[in-house]
């Protein structure tokens, strides 16, 4: 007999290769590692290279015993942009090239792999797990509300609510149980607007999401008190649900008492952080600054940038704005900035290419967040009690922003509008006119988030249950 029983379980974690999912899944990996599990965090070569270039990831992970960061090919040429609009190319390539590599990696691993945790959209990972004969847990890094809408796509098609053409976006949607009464066409994931049932994204979400029940369990970065009604619908199909969010805050809380280098920086960014914005924030009055960021994938036109810029400047509010180097379509034209914008930005604004966002949102000077409603950004904002103006860009973000505005009352949904007057009015509403109301609701939500991940909270309990369930597999 070998001594396998004495070794901690070895979990192979394989995230979707984009900034948002890598960020939260790596935090889940760190949480599992802190509980004593052995972890291999497997990235695609492309993401691995960028993480190494822009973060102190290796020295951070070194502090976790039994943690390995590895990479395999996604099958695309090195110079492929891997942008979100080319997702299907990436997905098809991974299915063809990464799938056999993943199987070989697991079969030849020096430490036997106990189970896989993979992103639920990468259905081929379940085939690999079944072929090898080990359990797989899926994680989905989007909100439960968007997951449920995606799960209901076949229902929508059956009811004739899909496809629709791009007009009449205010038509109510009635065949997503639990969302009757407030969900409209415009709040569906953006690929639903294509008017074509053969749209590859509709096909992908329609089929892959239906596969979620094949996994041993489903891990979601959300909280019961936030998405309880929707979660009860998902549970009918995936009864073994682990709601463990917000993972960034769970990790921060667990590291709070430690003195490892991890507690000083938890950046998983694919761009270099510009920390000078924290010094700038230090000199601003309490809750006076609106933070603007559209996440890691959104690309806006220069016209849209100018509408936002004029709107925010005209509102008179102080602002900190993240403009990623690759986020303006066709590149930043640089010159021709109206003098009133330059002067106002010098006086009460600050622009960086990439910010330490979690730290920014936790800063006392921040009073609001103009966001693209990516799920990580939404969770980071609500954990810190920061109200939002939502300008969703694509995919799940349109569902998230509807929930932020209409269901959770944590801010204003500006979707499908990018006009300076609207931006100005919404910023004034959030930061002045209705500031007290929004801050009160957001504060309450922040407290609930902290309670849920503290001892006795449901997210805390569910993480513990996940760790115990993984440990049992090894017996």
CA distance 416 to 404: 15
**Closest CA relative to residue 246, chosen from 400, 467, 27:** 27
Map the footprint of ligand UDX across residues 256-295, applying CB under 6 A: 269, 293, 295
Instruction: Tell me whether residue 24 or residue 317 sits nearer to ligand UDX (CB atom).
Output: 24
- The nearest distance, CB 20 to ligand UDX, in angstroms, is 3
Contact call for residue 375 and ligand UDX (CB under 6 A)? yes
> How many Å from the N-terminal Cα to the C-terminal Cα in the chain?
14
C-alpha 337/C-alpha 328 separation (Å) is 15
Nearer residue to ligand UDX within complex by CB, 19 or 262? 19
For 320, the enclosing helix (H) or strand (E) is strand 318-322
Q: What are phi and psi of 56, to 5 degrees?
A: -95, 35
Q: Is cis: bond before 246, omega within 30 of 0?
A: yes
Nearer to ligand UDX by Cβ, of 114 and 222: the residue is 222
Q: Are 305 and 386 in contact (CB under 8 A)?
A: no
Smallest distance, Å, CB 349 to ligand UDX? 15
Site string for ligand UDX, 3-22 (x = CB under 6 A): ---------------xxxx-
3 state DSSP class of 415: coil
**Judged by CB, which is closer to ligand UDX: 119, or 429?**
119
Instruction: Considering the complex, state which of residue 221 and residue 314 has its C-beta at the smaller distance from ligand UDX.
Output: 221
Rounded alpha-carbon distances, angstroms, from residue 300 to 17, 134, 391? 22, 43, 11
d(CA 79, CA 138): 30
Q: Does 139 bind ligand UDX (CB under 6 A)?
A: no
327 binds ligand UDX (CB under 6 A): no
When binding is defined by CB under 6 A, the residue of 40, 222, 284, 296 that contacts ligand UDX is: 296
Nearer to ligand UDX, 121 or 467 (CB): 121
Q: DSSP labels for 187-217? A: GS-GGGGGS-TT-HHHHHHHHHHHTGGGSSE
9 within 8 A of 473, measured Cβ to Cβ: yes
Closest to 125 in 3D by CA, of 47, 208, 10, 32 = 208
- Tally: H helices and E strands in the chain: 20, 13
142 binds ligand UDX (CB under 6 A): yes
Out of 25, 55, 317, 376, the residue judged to bind ligand UDX by CB under 6 A: 376
What is the closest distance, in whole angstroms, from the C-beta atom of residue 149 to ligand UDX in the complex? 13
Which tokens belong to 71?
């990479």
Total number of residues binding ligand UDX (CB under 6 A)? Answer: 25
Smallest separation (angstroms) from ligand UDX to the CB of 363? 13
We find the least distance from the C-beta atom of residue 209 to ligand UDX, in angstroms, to be: 13
Name which of residues 26 to 45 contact ligand UDX (CB under 6 A).
none
Q: Find the shortest distance in angstroms from Cβ 298 to ligand UDX.
A: 6
Q: Out of 44, 114, 141, 150, which residue is the one contacting ligand UDX (CB under 6 A)?
A: 141
Q: DSSP assignment of 217-229, as one string? A: EEEESS-HHHHHH
Residue with tokens 């933070």: 291
3-state class (DSSP) for residue 144 = helix
Per-residue contact flags (x/-) with ligand UDX for residues 329 to 368, judged by CB under 6 A: -------------------------xx-xx----------
Nearer to ligand UDX, 30 or 358 (CB): 358
Binding flag, residue 164, ligand UDX (CB under 6 A): no
Token pair 């979660």 in the structure block, residue: 231
**380 binds ligand UDX per the rule CB under 6 A:** yes
Question: Using the rule CB under 6 A, is 75 a contact of ligand UDX?
Answer: no
Q: Is residue 187 a contact partner of residue 398, using CB atoms and an 8 Å limit? A: yes
Half-sphere exposure of 170 toward its Cβ, with a 13 Å CA cutoff?
Answer: 0
Q: Considering the complex, what minimum distance in angstroms separates the CB of residue 374 from ligand UDX?
A: 2
Give me the least distance between CB of 193 and ligand UDX, in Å please.
17
| 297 contacts ligand UDX (rule: CB under 6 A) | yes
What the block records as the tokens of 313 is 């400047």
Q: Which of 74, 224, 384, 396 binds ligand UDX (CB under 6 A)?
A: 396
Residue choice 150, 262, 314, 397 for contact with ligand UDX (CB under 6 A): 397
246 makes contact with ligand UDX (CB under 6 A):
no
Return the number of other C-beta atoms located less than 10 Å from residue 101's C-beta. 16
> For binding to ligand UDX (CB under 6 A), which residues are involved?
18-21, 23, 141-142, 269, 293, 295-297, 322, 354-355, 357-358, 374-377, 380, 395-397
């Amino acid at each position: 007999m070998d001594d396998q029983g004495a070794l901690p379980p070895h979990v192979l974690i394989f995230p979707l290769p984009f900034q948002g999912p890598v960020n939260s899944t790596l935090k889940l990996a760190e949480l599992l590692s802190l509980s004593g599990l052995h972890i291999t965090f497997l990235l695609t070569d492309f993401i691995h290279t960028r993480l190494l270039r822009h973060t102190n990831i290796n020295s951070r992970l070194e502090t976790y015993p039994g943690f390995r960061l590895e990479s395999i090919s996604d099958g695309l040429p090195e110079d492929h942009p891997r942008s979100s609009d080319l997702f299907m190319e990436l997905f098809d390539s991974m299915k063809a090239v990464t799938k056999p590599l993943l199987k070989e990696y697991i079969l030849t691993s020096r430490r036997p792999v106990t189970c896989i945790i993979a992103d639920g959209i990468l259905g081929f990972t379940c085939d690999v797990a079944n072929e090898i004969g080990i359990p797989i847990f899926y994680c989905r890094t989007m909100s439960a509300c968007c997951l449920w809408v995606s799960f209901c796509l076949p229902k929508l098609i059956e009811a004739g609510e899909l496809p629709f053409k791009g007009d009449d976006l205010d038509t109510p949607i009635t065949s997503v149980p639990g969302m009757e009464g407030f969900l409209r066409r415009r709040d569906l994931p953006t690929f639903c607007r294509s008017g074509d049932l053969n749209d590859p994204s509709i096909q992908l979400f329609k089929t892959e999401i239906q596969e979620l029940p094949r996994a041993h369990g489903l891990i979601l970065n959300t909280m019961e008190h936030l998405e309880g009604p929707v979660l009860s619908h998902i549970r009918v199909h995936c009864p073994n649900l682990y709601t463990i969010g917000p993972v960034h805050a769970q990790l921060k809380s667990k590291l709070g008492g430690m003195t490892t280098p991890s507690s000083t920086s938890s950046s998983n960014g694919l761009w270099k952080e510009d920390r000078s914005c924290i010094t700038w924030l230090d000199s601003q009055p309490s809750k006076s600054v609106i933070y603007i960021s559209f996440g890691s994938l959104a690309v806006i036109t220069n016209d849209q940038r100018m509408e936002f810029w004029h709107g925010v400047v005209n509102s008179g509010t102080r602002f900190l704005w993240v403009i990623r180097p690759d986020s303006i379509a066709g590149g930043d034209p640089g010159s021709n900035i109206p003098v009133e914008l330059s002067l106002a930005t010098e006086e009460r604004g600050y622009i960086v290419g990439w910010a330490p966002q979690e730290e920014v949102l936790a800063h006392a000077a921040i009073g609001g967040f103009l966001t693209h409603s990516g799920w990580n950004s939404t969770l980071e904002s609500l954990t810190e009690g920061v109200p939002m103006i939502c300008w969703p860009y694509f995919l799940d973000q349109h569902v998230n922003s509807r929930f932020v505005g209409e269901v959770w009352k944590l801010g204003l949904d500006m979707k499908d509008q990018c006009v300076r007057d609207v931006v100005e009015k919404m910023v004034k509403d959030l930061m002045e006119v209705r500031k007290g109301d929004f801050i009160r609701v957001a504060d309450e939500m922040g407290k609930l988030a902290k309670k849920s991940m503290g001892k006795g909270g449901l997210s805390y309990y569910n993480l513990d249950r996940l760790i115990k369930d993984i440990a049992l597999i090894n017996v």
